[in-house]
Amino acid sequence: MVALEVGKRLRVTPLAIPEVKLVAPIRRTDPRGYLAETFNQRDLATFGMDFDAVQDNQSLSRPKGTLRGLHFQIPPFAQAKLIRVLCGSIFDVAVDIRRGSPTFGRHVSVTLRADGFEQLFVPVGFAHGFCTLEPDTEVFYKVDNFYSAEHDCGILWNDPDLAIDWPVSPNEATLSDKDLQLPRLKDISPAFTFEGAARASA
């Protein structure tokens, strides 16, 4: 995919599922260090990411191989996310769960590192999860809707239908009891539909 820039502030690369994007704020450096705009709503909108962040979340994962996911919230509390790593690195995954989408059930993955300074934009209609590649990894992400326990859902991280090549085996992964009991994609109720499918059938 081709990376596109806005001014000298931001570089955006659509991934294999183009709604999911790699966002790289451009650092301006001098002998003192650097300065960068890590979030600019107007610049994101230039690339089709209408993202009105309302909540920031931050996690610390002590063990290497900590796996969180695959998570999403259903409407009316569905969330888009903008994820970055503050310390360490992660294998980050977004799964298309929009019924009728040509990429339904497929995923994209990237490695995000604190020193790489990149972020992953995950839109509504995707499940998200990550696995830490280093101990003491800190992840920070913005969301455009508030957390709602009643609307919090997920998919089993190693659902064989998803065929995600995680960097850890089931014996190596550290997961919460909740994530170990999540259903497979085929067993969840449809929560999202692909807009293009509705237009095509009209």
pLDDT tens, position by position, 43-61: 999 999 999 999 999 999 9
Residues 6+ apart with CB under 8 A from 19: 123, 125, 126
Mean pLDDT on 71-91: 98
Catalytic residue among 71, 107, 128, 147: 71
The overall average pLDDT reported for the chain is: 93
Catalytic residue among 107, 128, 141, 151: 141
Task: Give the chain's domains with CATH numbers.
Answer: 4-194 (2.60.120.10)
| Nearest to 132, CA basis, from 98, 91, 192 | 91
Q: What is the pLDDT of residues 109-153, one digit of tens each?
A: 999 999 999 999 999 999 999 999 999 999 999 999 999 999 999
Q: Which residues pair with 23 in a beta bridge?
A: 12, 119
107 counts as catalytic: no
Q: Is 141 a catalytic residue?
A: yes
Rounded alpha-carbon distances, angstroms, from residue 53 to 56, 129, 131, 142, 146:
8, 19, 24, 6, 9
Residue pLDDT, tens place only, 155-195: 999 999 999 999 999 999 999 999 999 999 999 999 999 98
pLDDT of residue 200: 35
